[in-house]
Amino acid sequence: MKHLLFLLAMGCLFQTASAQTPKTEVKPFQLKEGWGYDIFVDGKKYVHQENIPAIQGIHYFRTQQDAKKAGEFVATKIKKNIMPPTVSPEELDSLKVLPVGMKVPPKKSEK
């Protein structure tokens, strides 16, 4: 919950920044349990993500490449000014970064 509030607050601040496309950099980091990532925007830490977002429970990225891939996806949203730069379980599934064996349930069709 703290991470979501942080992202929302940062999103509000970021929207007031200049209209220029920000320079982003994704830096994966290793944890005892797996991998996470930091996203820097114009040289300042903007996101610190230790676990896989948007899924129930606490799960970590298996590899440095998985963390980098997810971080780059979020960084792309930041560059496009999509705020807050959240990700869905479906997006994570399409990136192939979900924990082994985890499946995203199909969305219920609306009638």
pLDDT per residue as tens digits for the range 57-89: 999 999 999 999 999 999 999 999 999 999 999
DSSP state letter for 61: B
Share of the chain above pLDDT 70, in %: 80
pLDDT at 22 exceeding the cut of 60: yes
Averaged confidence pLDDT in the chain: 86
98 neighbors 55 (Cβ within 8 angstroms)? yes
The per-residue pLDDT for 4 is: 45
Predicted TM-score (pTM) of this structure? 0.78
DSSP state letter for 12: H
5 burial type by CB count under 10 A (0-12 exposed, 13-18 middle, 19+ buried): exposed
- Provide the residue count of the chain: 111
Share of the chain above pLDDT 90, in %: 70
